[in-house]
Structure 1
Amino acid sequence: MHQPVQALPSEPPHAVVFHGSRGRFWKLVARGALLEFVTLGFYRFWLTTDIRRHLWSNTSVGGDPAEYTGRARELLVGFLIAVTILIPFYLAYFLLGLEAERLQAFASVPLIFAFLVFGQFAVYRARRYRVTRTVWRGLRFSMTGSALAYCWRASLWSLLVALTLGIAYPWRQAALERFKMKHTSYGTLEGRFEGRPRQLLGQIWWMLLLAPFALVLFVPAPFLYAAFRAAEWRWWISGIRIGEIAFHSDLTRKALFGIYWKVVGWLTLIFAAVGALYAGFIAAAVLRGGQEPSEVEILAAAQSPAILVGIALSYLIAGVAAGAIVRVYLSRDVWVRIAATTSVLNISAADDVSGQGSLADPLGEGLIDGFDMGGI
């Protein structure tokens, strides 16, 4: 078993530095959100690519920035291929629904199971795509391994997590990270994962116990989830090894509290505004006659074509705005916070490395988009 890597006395840890401007990122996301609205969502492939290029290129390790070489057209092609894979599942479910409601309810069980299984397949393929499009010091990362092998491992571990009410979660994450890092390399430097499940369990066990109460009370939920994510990020980063290069995270449990609560606040404000707008539309319609409306008139006004079109556009705008908020806070701000608390040990091990590996296809990214599981 590998022992934790220590920094050499002559080589101090190197900080991960993010140089990007928040204002510039806001402009990038605002422009992308507008184009998403105009193109009914199809611009998201280009926006995702622009966001990754911004984050990668503004993140430096040892003074050298990373580079993202993926292209939006690849994501679009991957999505179109994924759609052809997913259509038969949706079609079978629809036809069973036409045949009998009872059969549709029965079909929902294997359909959900198939989505969960294929979702894990997509997660692995999407990660492989992003890894093989990441370049540092002119050398590309590579990733191999079977997505099907990862898929059945992830599915069985997820079943065990459900049966143990979450207790097996750290063991699941450690096993899957070992599989992913075993097949990840930077040139000739092979990756591995040394995070121990008990370390993660020791940090999150009380969160698992409080999770049901937080979901019911809601107010503690963002705090609890932010603390959970921070603990998991710190454990994951500190467990990564690439050859003799090691990573260390000082991310505190409270580091993400403000970010998650800002997201909750903005989303609440956005959808409250949509609700108020909907109520205003109905009020304007029913009071046009100058008399107190009946319940039938109010219901008819709420279902009028003009009101429905207006509210549909409002929800579309709200959805685009919510997407922009999520990208700024949960993509950019979380990335920056994590980078600021991460350091790299023994970076000189990457000084004499040769390249190897090949580019992965974008199918995984397309499946991720098809399952609405998109991420950076």
Structure 2
Amino acid sequence: MSDISLADDSVVTQPSRAPAAAPIVFTGDNGEFRRLVTRGALLELVTAGFYRFWLATHMRRYLWSSTVIGGDALEYVGKARELLFGFFFALAILAPVYLAYLLIGLEAERTRAFASLPLGLFFAAFGQFAIYRARRYRLHKTSWRGLRFGMGGSGFAYMFRAIGWGFLLMLTLGLALPWAEAALERYKMRHTFYGALEGDFVGRGGDFFKRGWWIWAVSLFGSAGLFGLAAALGKAGGPLLIAGLVIILLAAPGLYAAFKTAQWRWWLEGLRLGDIRVETKLRTGSLLGNYFAFFGVSIGVVLAIGTAVGVVVAMNRNNIVGTNLPIGVLIFVGVAYLATFLTIGVASRIFLTQRVWKIVTSSLAVHGLEAADAVATRASAAENAIGEGFADSLDVVGF
């Protein structure tokens, strides 16, 4: 009789595995965005700048819809006319401030000079209020899987916090930046939500400081040492100063790329939305080429158009009387200035907005995304674009 082996009746349980991280995919086309911002810049020119509200809306729709999280793209549901009305409303509030400053200047020049400081402080402080309210607006106009994000909190409470940290930044020559950013981001995220999922920020200022202190040290002490040495050498220090400034200019994109990489990684890894978190594989090299490309394009545009203006002026030097330029030359200079402004503006939107967005989002993976599968809705008040209007009128809005 042959032996028969019987299988063991015991059941071996396999350890449960955590769900795999979901990648974030960017599906946008570089050429499409380039055509979008180029056409938008030309329309800004012919509409005296008012097309920027429509351009900003189109850019956001492109970037949001090109960002796919867990198989579903973000959606931007804001409208350009909301930004336009918000701008006019903000301008109506800020206009009396500008008018008061003008009247003070007409009354007495010395009083006007005295008023410049508090006016500048007012706009710097109010700019922080505008930044917070603009972020609230963008979140309320952002939808994913048919549900909008939301944000509460007070713009004024954020403003006073930012003012306090601003004074500390001045006293420490910027050394307190990591702790300031951690505190302000914590306030913003703790008032952010997606349905029933509450936001939080767990990044610590000390961690950011460890990643970026050397950039602060190189920038501060390198610049101070250069100017100090040049001043000590007197006239002989002139060539040294020029050479040093050229080196600083060439090194600036690299230092900025290193700083932004450290900042992006620290910020992204500290974000929380319920149990959802992200990890990033962002590296300095990914941003380095991008910032150098923008730097090269900007310098090239300035040199090319500057050379063209110089040639035109030289060709008409016999027609120049004193400091008065012929009308044809003045028109050419004006067109050259607008061309420089528009071209660098287009390059900025391409390299500093779309390309950075693409690089950063493509480096991300999301953990705990299943927490959003059956998230309950949460009622939130409608948000207007007044904050965006303030930010636009003060030129402090971030994309």
Render the CA deviation track for 1:252-275: whole Å, top value 9, x for unaligned: 233211111111111112222232
User: How far off its partner does 1:11 sit?
Assistant: 0.5
Equivalent pair of 1:57/1:65 in contact (CA under 8 Å): yes
2:164 matches 1:164:
no
Structure 2 equivalent of residue 291 of structure 1: none
Structure 1 equivalent of residue 232 of structure 2: none
Moved more, 126-135 or 256-265: 256-265
Structure 2 equivalent of residue 207 of structure 1: 215
TM-score normalized by structure 2? 0.87
Distance 1:117 1:56 in 2: 30
Render the CA deviation track for 1:14-60: whole Å, top value 9, x for unaligned: 11100011011111111111111111211110000000000000100
Distance 2:398 2:305 in 1: 26
Distance 1:117 1:309 in 2: 39
Distance 1:57 1:135 in 2: 10
Identity of aligned residues (%): 45
Equivalent pair of 1:142/1:359 in contact (CA under 8 Å): no
Equivalent pair of 1:74/1:362 in contact (CA under 8 Å): yes
User: How far off its partner does 1:298 sit?
Assistant: 6.0
Q: After TM superposition, list the pairs within 5 Å mapping 1:14-33 onto structure 2.
A: 14-33=22-41
User: How far off its partner does 1:304 sit?
Assistant: 3.3
Q: After TM superposition, list the pairs within 5 Å mapping 1:221-236 onto structure 2.
A: 221-236=252-267
2:71 matches 1:63:
yes
Structure 2 equivalent of residue 362 of structure 1: 385
Equivalent pair of 1:129/1:364 in contact (CA under 8 Å): yes
Structure 1 equivalent of residue 357 of structure 2: 335
Distance 1:108 1:85 in 2: 19
For 1:89, which of 97, 114, 117 is the aligned residue?
97
User: How far off its partner does 1:94 sit?
Assistant: 2.1
Structure 2 equivalent of residue 5 of structure 1: none
Q: After TM superposition, list the pairs within 5 Å mapping 1:275-286 onto structure 2.
A: 275-286=306-317
User: How far off its partner does 1:299 sit?
Assistant: 3.7
User: Does the residue aligned with 1:11 lie in a helix, a strand or coil?
Assistant: coil
User: Does the residue aligned with 1:254 lie in a helix, a strand or coil?
Assistant: helix
TM-score normalized by structure 1? 0.92
* Paired letter, 2:396: M
Structure 1 equivalent of residue 346 of structure 2: 324
Structure 2 equivalent of residue 350 of structure 1: 372
* Paired letter, 1:232: Q
Structure 1 equivalent of residue 195 of structure 2: 187
Equivalent pair of 1:214/1:221 in contact (CA under 8 Å): no
Distance 2:134 2:263 in 1: 20
Render the CA deviation track for 1:334-358: whole Å, top value 9, x for unaligned: 0000011111001000011122213
Render the CA deviation track for 1:47-74: whole Å, top value 9, x for unaligned: 0000000000010011110000011000
Larger radius of gyration: 2
Moved more, 305-314 or 60-69: 305-314
* Paired letter, 1:80: F
Structure 1 runs of 4+ off > 6 angstroms? none
2:337 matches 1:308:
no
Distance 2:329 2:97 in 1: 34
* Paired letter, 1:309: I
* Paired letter, 2:290: I
Equivalent pair of 1:214/1:220 in contact (CA under 8 Å): no
User: Does the residue aligned with 1:360 lie in a helix, a strand or coil?
Assistant: coil
For 2:302, which of 255, 271, 274 is the aligned residue?
271
Structure 2 equivalent of residue 244 of structure 1: 275
Render the CA deviation track for 1:222-272: whole Å, top value 9, x for unaligned: 211111111101110110100111111221233211111111111112222
Equivalent pair of 1:119/1:367 in contact (CA under 8 Å): yes
Distance 2:140 2:323 in 1: 56
* Paired letter, 1:138: G
Equivalent pair of 1:263/1:325 in contact (CA under 8 Å): yes
| Distance change (3 Å), C-alpha of 1:350 and 1:143 | same
User: Does the residue aligned with 1:354 lie in a helix, a strand or coil?
Assistant: coil
For 2:51, which of 23, 43, 49 is the aligned residue?
43
Moved more, 16-25 or 260-269: 260-269
- Structure 2 residue ranges without an equivalent (≥5): 1-15, 225-244
User: Does the residue aligned with 2:130 lie in a helix, a strand or coil?
Assistant: helix
User: Does the residue aligned with 2:286 lie in a helix, a strand or coil?
Assistant: coil
| Distance change (3 Å), C-alpha of 1:333 and 1:107 | same
Equivalent pair of 1:144/1:184 in contact (CA under 8 Å): yes
Structure 2 equivalent of residue 4 of structure 1: none
Distance 2:303 2:321 in 1: 20
Equivalent pair of 2:130/2:397 in contact (CA under 8 Å): no
User: Does the residue aligned with 1:207 lie in a helix, a strand or coil?
Assistant: helix
Equivalent pair of 1:78/1:367 in contact (CA under 8 Å): yes
* Paired letter, 1:178: R
- Structure 1 residue ranges without an equivalent (≥5): 1-7, 289-296
Distance 1:226 1:15 in 2: 24
Distance 1:374 1:34 in 2: 21
Equivalent pair of 1:36/1:320 in contact (CA under 8 Å): no
Q: After TM superposition, list the pairs within 5 Å mapping 1:49-198 onto structure 2.
A: 49-198=57-206
* Paired letter, 2:389: G
Render the CA deviation track for 1:275-328: whole Å, top value 9, x for unaligned: 22221221222247xxxxxxxx46445x33332232122211221111111001
Render the CA deviation track for 1:75-106: whole Å, top value 9, x for unaligned: 11111111112222222222222233322221
